[in-house]
């Protein structure tokens, strides 16, 4: 097994992402939807940040923008998300690089996955809408057990 990269593993403190940016939604704001995660959702978002997002951000080396993170049921409906979406459980994020090509970030993520540096349950690139969807569910798809918590 490859060694896991140095990682603080401590949630949001000192990391690259905030709970606010993982829950913010312009659509929710415009439509008056209260997109508030439960404690369980927050725990899942913390795991997503620890096991995927912070590691990818560190490897990528420049800012990554979250275009969609947690979605409550109403918001998920409003954006046309699938009913079983990991976004509704706080286990998924759509991201794009602030600088650099979307495809390059996708290659970076795939490389990390192949090397065992991150776990992924879902990952795809939507070039048209300009984001990469990543989901991490430690229970359902424990491909890299050494990084689950």
The nearer residue to Zn ion, 57 or 133, going by C-beta atoms, is: 133
Binding-residue pattern over the window 96 to 135 for Zn ion, x denoting contact by CB under 5 A: -------------------------------------x--
Which window, 54-62, 86-94, 100-108, 141-149, contacts Zn ion (CB under 5 A)? 86-94
Residue 49's nearest CA partner among 107, 105, 119 is 119
Residue 137 touches Zn ion, criterion: CB under 5 A: no
- Written as six digits, the tokens of 130 are 């300009």
The interface with Zn ion within residues 8-37 (CB under 5 A) comprises none
How big is the site for Zn ion, counted in residues (CB under 5 A)? 2
Contacts of 34 (CB under 8 A, 6+ apart): 28, 72
Residue 89 touches Zn ion, criterion: CB under 5 A: no
| DSSP code of residue 75 | H
| Burial annotation 40-71 (CB, 10 A radius, 16+ → b, else e) | ebbebbbbbbbbbbbbbbbbbeeebebbbbbb
Residue 71 touches Zn ion, criterion: CB under 5 A: no
Residue 57 touches Zn ion, criterion: CB under 5 A: no
Sites of contact with Zn ion (CB under 5 A): 94, 133
């Amino acid at each position: 097994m490859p060694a896991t990269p140095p990682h603080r593993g401590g949630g949001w403190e000192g990391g690259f992402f905030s709970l606010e940016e993982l829950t913010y939604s312009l659509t929710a704001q415009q439509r008056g939807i209260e997109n508030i995660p439960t404690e369980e959702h927050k725990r899942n978002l913390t795991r997503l940040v620890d096991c995927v997002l912070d590691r990818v951000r560190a490897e990528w080396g420049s800012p990554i923008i979250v275009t969609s993170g947690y979605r409550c049921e109403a918001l998920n409906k409003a954006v046309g998300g699938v009913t079983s979406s990991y976004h509704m459980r706080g286990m998924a994020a759509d991201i794009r690089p602030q600088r650099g090509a979307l495809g390059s970030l996708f290659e970076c993520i795939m490389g990390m996955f192949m090397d065992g540096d991150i776990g992924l349950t879902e990952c795809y690139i939507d070039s048209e809408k300009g984001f990469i969807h990543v989901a991490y569910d430690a229970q359902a798809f424990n491909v890299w057990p050494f990084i689950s918590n």
